[in-house]
Structure 1
Amino acid sequence: MTPDILCIGSVLWDIIGRSNAHMQKGSDVPGRITRIPGGVALNIAMAAKAYGMTPALLSVVGRDAEGDELVAALDRLGLVTDTLYRSEDLPTDVYMAIEGGNGLIAAIADAHSLEAAGDKVLRPLHGLGFTGPIVVDGNLTQDLLAGIAVDPRFTGTDLRIAPASPGKAERLLPFLVHDSATLYVNLEEANLLLHAPQPDTMTAAEALRAHGLYRALVTDGPNPAACAHPGGTVKIQPRNVMVTRVTGAGDTFMAAHIAAEASGADPDAALKRALEAAATYVSGDTY
């Protein structure tokens, strides 16, 4: 298969515990526990595949039983996996989260193998001659992200940047002056990058772009989302839905936006499609 989108970053197992009960520290409630393929780069790739694209994964997966099982699952999903770095001595990464009726309670991301692999995950880029969108997620090390921001292989490419979490948002600072990068963040992450609180997503998106960034998309849960791009700024109110899950919602938003643009959608239509996809996802209408 010939890929039309590259996804660089975390590819791992997600272990998610969900309950409809509102939870707090020390809560012990009934619910469901699932293990599914996950990670920011992989979540975006799986969603992009559902929208008709052909994603290739650039990441590290161990040559352990968990890694073999994960790669087999990804092959069945129709993703390009021969671009993965399969490590003999690094275990397959894992993410664990607890979600209640009041949202995400706690999460731990064990992406130590991705960090240890470093630029080995970029080896497939040599001679690839790829010209489509390239997704980069914030689970990569700060040094590797800074390197990608100035790497001539990425100059002028359609870079799409996703933070792994608010705690890793500041790793993306080198991309704020990248003239071909699109940054996808929520308002909290935007505030961390700007080192100043912004009143709304439109103000935050325009402030991010003012640094020299090509384009910025900023979301804020049920509040209006904004996209600041070379032609101006678009702001759209998302559909109101009952939230049943949150892990992976931002990745779904990003993949839907990329796929919409690949099909020729303008900035307004692409943002609308992305918000609708995220609303459908968090409501649990589709899996």
Structure 2
Amino acid sequence: MTIDCSLAVVGSINADITATISRLPTTGETVGGGMLTRSPGGKGANQAAAAARLGARTRMIGAVGDDAEGREMVKALRAAGVLTEDIAEADAPTGTALIMVDAHGENQIAVCEGANTEAGLDGVEFADDEAVLTQLEISMDLVTELAARVPGFFAVNAAPALPLPAEVVDRADLIIVNETEYSLIPQLQEARLVAVTFGSRGSSLFARGEQIAFAEALPRTPVSTVGAGDAFAAALTIGLRMSLVPERALCAANAVGAAAVMDAAAQPAFDPFEAYLSD
């Protein structure tokens, strides 16, 4: 089912290599008994796949390498319903994320950016009615260029946490972070609209540092939290673009994030967006 929302996701595309282990190792420690899986990932690709599966008309703008991993990542996005014509083929290898997930769904992630550093906007145009969602696994120069070029709704998932140029903070219609990222980027206190996730304690929306909405989290015992934040970001962007009131948009995004933690994949299947709307 397609909903009335067009979304361009500009961001990272990674091959995820995940070790599922009983507990995360401490510094210098080796933990055995793991299970290894390979799957599509990257914050940008995760958000695009989630948005498309929720029913938004979604295209992905990014870069992969001329390698088997890149072809598999593009194939996975197409299977999710994402338009992939704006994915460039770079000289660098496809980006890779090395992930460890413990028995409680907590994770540690190391990212090798690879082709993501070569993502760009050559030949790309944005429509006035097209929302654009980006993250910080691509170059800050590209994020800043988006702030100047996007004519419509512009959302930034400020992860991983990095200082944001003033022109990005001033331009963004929505900035999405978790509570750790919120504490590490003090300039977000001045942002127009910021969504902050608090894990099992729900999520909030802040306008210029003042809370304007809050939604409780749905109780879940997570299998993996790797793709939950990306699913939340996609769903919240869709909800606000559909002109849902802030609290209802947050509730829907929390419900989508809760569905994501019950799947080990970073790009899980979802029901249509309407299924996550509370009465």
Match of 2:248 among 264, 269, 276: 269
What's the counterpart of residue 161 of structure 1? 156
The equivalences for 1:1-287 within 5 A come to 4-19=6-21, 21-25=22-26, 26-87=29-90, 89-115=91-117, 117=118, 121-126=120-125, 128-149=126-147, 151=148, 153-154=149-150, 156-166=151-161, 169-171=162-164, 174-178=167-171, 180-194=172-186, 208-209=188-189, 211=190, 213-229=191-207, 233-284=212-263
Q: Is the 8 A contact 1:250 1:278 kept in 2?
A: yes
Distance 1:174 1:102 in 2: 39
Distance 2:43 2:242 in 1: 23
Write out per-residue CA displacement over residues 144-179 of structure 1, whole angstroms, 9 at most, x where no aligned residue. 323333x2x22x52111012323xx3246642222x
- Write the letter of the residue equivalent to 1:260: G
Write out per-residue CA displacement over residues 112-152 of structure 1, whole angstroms, 9 at most, x where no aligned residue. 3222x15xx212424x5352210111012223323333x2x
Compared CA separation, residues 263 and 144, structure 1 to 2 (3 A): closer
Compared CA separation, residues 39 and 240, structure 1 to 2 (3 A): same
Distance 1:104 1:113 in 2: 27
Compared CA separation, residues 105 and 232, structure 1 to 2 (3 A): closer
- SS of 2:184's partner is helix
Instruction: Return the offset for 1:32.
Output: 2.9
TM-score, normalised to structure 2, is 0.83
TM-score, normalised to structure 1, is 0.81
- % identical equivalent positions: 22
Higher relative contact order (CA 8 A, sep 6+): 2
Compared CA separation, residues 102 and 187, structure 1 to 2 (3 A): same
Structure having the higher helix fraction is 1
What's the counterpart of residue 201 of structure 1? none
Structure 1 stretches lacking a partner, 5+ long: 196-207
What's the counterpart of residue 199 of structure 1? none
Distance 2:141 2:235 in 1: 29
Compared CA separation, residues 103 and 146, structure 1 to 2 (3 A): same
- SS of 2:89's partner is strand
Report the number of matched residues: 260
